[in-house]
């Protein structure tokens, strides 16, 4: 008998005390099973995560263009000049077109995972679009295709009054978030 007097200690077949019989931790088989399950779950979730990231890039680009349109309009009013918002595939700039030579007032880049329609919108010094009555729709997709052919599409609509808003060209007219 080992241990304290009055207490009986059980021994393993190898003669060690029972509380030392098994080491704490995970076996290699248990670790392999956990890693396999984790790999399967990760494989199932990757398409969803990539869809989310592509949708977020399109939305972020549309919001950036909305902010650029609001800035172009506010600069036209503040400076009492005509400005233009010029959009390239992955960048935008606000120009003072009454100055000679034309002066860049603001510029920015867009998310490289999204493509914006290359276009221009001008704002008069009163904040309305120029020429009077002009409306613009900036389409943004993840693949550069037209909105009708792209599952991911957002747009920025600039009205003749100069107001800009983010909308979805694929929604039915008259519903919330539609461009018309």
- pLDDT, tens digit, 9 for 90 and up, residues 83-112: 999 998 789 999 999 989 999 999 999 988
3-state secondary structure of 40: helix
Q: Look at residue 147 in the predicted model and tell me its pLDDT.
A: 76
Total residue length of the chain: 180
Say if pTM beats, i.e. exceeds, 0.85.
Answer: no
Share of the chain above pLDDT 90, in %: 46
The answer to whether the Cα torsion of 102, 104, 108, 109 is positive or negative is positive
* The pLDDT of residue 6 is above 70: no
* The pLDDT of residue 10 is above 90: no
Cα–Cα distance list, 48 to 31, 36, 154, 177 (Å):
26, 20, 19, 24
Query: What's the CA angle centered on 162, arms 158 and 164, to 5 degrees?
Result: 40
Are 79 and 50 in contact by the 8 Å Cβ rule? The answer is no
């Amino acid at each position: 008998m080992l241990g304290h007097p009055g207490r009986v200690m059980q021994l393993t077949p190898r003669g060690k005390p029972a509380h030392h019989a098994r080491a704490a931790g995970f076996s290699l088989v248990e670790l392999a099973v956990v890693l396999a399950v984790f790999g399967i779950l990760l494989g199932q979730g990757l398409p969803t995560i990539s869809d989310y990231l592509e949708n977020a890039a399109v939305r972020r680009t549309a919001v950036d263009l909305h902010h650029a349109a609001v800035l172009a309009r506010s600069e036209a009013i503040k400076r009492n000049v005509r400005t233009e918002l010029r959009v390239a595939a992955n960048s935008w700039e606000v120009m003072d077109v009454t100055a000679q030579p034309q002066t860049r007032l603001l510029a920015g880049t867009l998310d490289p995972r999204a493509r914006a329609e290359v276009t221009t919108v001008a704002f008069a010094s009163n904040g309305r679009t120029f020429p009077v009555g002009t409306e613009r729709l900036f389409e943004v997709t993840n693949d550069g295709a037209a909105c009708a052919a792209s599952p991911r599409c957002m747009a920025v609509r600039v009205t003749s009054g100069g107001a800009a808003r983010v909308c979805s060209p694929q929604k039915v007219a008259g519903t919330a978030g539609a461009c018309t």
